[in-house]
Amino acid sequence: MAKRRAVVTIGTLGLERASSVPLYRQLYDGLREAILSGRLRPGARLPSTRMLASDLETSRNTVLTAFGQLLAEGYLEGRVGAGTTVAGTLPETLLRARPEAAGPGRPGRRPRLSRRGALLVGARAALSRGAATAHPFRPGLPGLDAFPFDLWTRLLARRWRRVPRQLLDYGDAAGYAPLREAIAAYLGEARAVSCEASQVIVVTGAQQAVDLAARVLLDPGDTAWVEDPGYQGARGALVAAGIRLAPVPLDGEGLDVRRGGRVAPDARLIYVTPSHQYPLGVTMTLQRRLALLEWANASGAWVLEDDYDSEYRYAGRPLAALQGLDAGGRVIYAGTFSKVLFPALRLGYLVVPPELVDAFVAARALTDRHSPSVTQAALADFIEGGHFARHVRRTRALYAERQATLVRAAGRMLGGLLEVAPAEAGMHLMGWLPAGVDDRAAARAALARDVDTPPLSSFRIRPARGGERGGLVLGYAAYTPREIDDACSRLALALKGARQSG
Ligand SMILES: Cc1ncc(COP(=O)(O)O)c(C=O)c1O
């Protein structure tokens, strides 16, 4: 039988009710300090949120919020039902010198890491990993069955056959010039992004874009607004750069700018997915975009716009990128080829205001010089030859069909179990569970039947408020109608089973 770890007592977490620091923040700081000082050891099990709330004479929501933030930042680990523990992966060197701390080169001990190294290890959990077999409905994947691999192979081979010396030497850290031109032309036309090619920096994807923005524009300890619920990959990159996250909720118009201003008036950066919020799917209204830009201009904060899947809009007029509305030069625009082409390509782009180009290019050069030149050249050929536009058109029709298949299958098989409504954009849909159903338990039951549908709570920093329904995120772009149908029937069995045992 597995040995249960003892629950630690947390003695010295006095909360000051008169303080202007919110109670959840005081609790977060207290627990973080207890972990960093070694009073709470890796693997130590924390009391239940209910018990801690009662001990501290505070609301359970305060405790849930503090735990949520520590979970998001990798200090804690936990699963519903299994309790919350101090992360086992926290390197001992993060803890202030303790007698038994590892010495250099001592075998069998965890290696000494810097504080930054420790943050990286802690934040790693935020990033999803590829799997040998992607089960439906794992979100984020494009329809690889539709990608023209023969053509791509030909374009790459042609480049390699006649490769000039210059493509084999170190290249421009900002990217291969013709690719930057092609991206600038595409963004101007398709996304109303206002830029010159000189403002385009080729990066390895949105992940590197967030990392560079955090390191070039913010200092460790600075605060960034992040959408809550929101994309864990971006949050992880910010945490790894030592940035404090200020979770900002969303409403039907997108990020709640007024709430953000109250929660963290000192924010230096705002990370948003305005075209198609990840994962809720809200498109930020024009009014809200203007309010966001006004706030950023007035406060001097940067806006990091992640336009990750904007190619996929099936109905309605495509809304132009936020960047195109920005008269104050506050928006850093990030896009990726992971969604239209494939994630392993590791190519994306940043568009930065002219005065920031040198700083971003310097940071890129010192991080990893630049992206592979021959692959960049083949991608430039792919775009200039009209293949990119053709592939977007084809996959847009294909994904619209796949979405319709999912909505129909859900209507037939998931009635009363999961509400799945069509959406005008994107590559995934939200499935809403009946009130009171725990989405983590539902996702676990689904995974046991090879249906990979992450729970909405795993995208949250603050726990859902009472009355907010749990949800499942259903990626559909990567799966054939047959796979979608089969997965829906397995999901129905899983959700019925979970309802009976719940
Ligand atoms: C919101 C969001 N941004 C960006 C990405 C893609 O990141 P990358 O370009 O690093 O592959 C994803 C992938 O799932 C995403 O969901």
Closest approach atom of ligand 1 to CA 128? 14
Which single residue is written with the structure tokens 């919350």? 84
Position 108 scores a pLDDT of 57
Position 318 scores a pLDDT of 74
237 contacts 216 by C-beta, under 8 angstroms: no
Closest approach atom of ligand 1 to CA 336? 9
Q: What is the 3-state secondary structure (H, E, C) of 241-286?
A: CCCEEEEECEECCEECHHHHHHHCCCCCEEEECCCCCCCCCCCCCH
Question: Ligand 1 center to residue 308 CA distance, Å?
Answer: 6
Position 107 scores a pLDDT of 53
Q: 183-186: long-range contacts (C-beta < 8 A, 24 or more apart)? A: 183/335, 183/349, 183/383, 184/351, 186/383, 186/388
Question: Ligand 1 center to residue 450 CA distance, Å?
Answer: 23
Closest approach atom of ligand 1 to CA 140? 14
Give residue ranges with CB within 6 A of ligand 1: 140, 205-207, 231, 233, 273, 278, 306, 308, 336, 338, 343, 348
Burial class (CB within 10 angstroms; exposed 0-12, middle 13-18, buried 19+) of 263: middle
Question: Ligand 1 center to residue 153 CA distance, Å?
Answer: 24
Closest approach atom of ligand 1 to CA 348? 9
Position 126 scores a pLDDT of 78
Q: Is the peptide bond before 422 cis (omega within 30 degrees of 0)?
A: no
Question: Ligand 1 center to residue 40 CA distance, Å?
Answer: 34
The Cα 387–Cα 407 span in angstroms is: 30
Pocket mutation for ligand 1, best pick of 202, 339, 342, 350 (most atoms within 8 Å of C-beta) = 339
Question: Ligand 1 center to residue 428 CA distance, Å?
Answer: 13
**pTM, full prediction:** 0.82
Position 66 scores a pLDDT of 82
**Token pair in block for residue 186:** 């595409």
**Which residues make Cβ contacts (< 8 Å) with residue 117, sequence separation at least 6?**
91
38 contacts 96 by C-beta, under 8 angstroms: yes
Closest approach atom of ligand 1 to CA 230? 1
Residue nearest to atom 2 of ligand 1 (CA): 308
Question: Ligand 1 center to residue 278 CA distance, Å?
Answer: 9
Pocket mutation for ligand 1, best pick of 273, 305, 308 (most atoms within 8 Å of C-beta) = 308
The Cα 500–Cα 299 span in angstroms is: 52
The Cα 70–Cα 87 span in angstroms is: 10
Q: Tell me the average confidence (pLDDT) per consecutive run of 10 residues in the chain, 502 residues long.
A: 50 70 79 78 84 84 81 73 74 46 54 90 79 85 97 98 97 98 97 97 98 98 98 96 97 98 98 98 97 98 97 88 97 98 98 98 98 98 98 98 98 98 97 96 97 96 89 98 98 92 68
Position 22 scores a pLDDT of 75
Q: Could you say which DSSP state residue 418 is in?
A: -
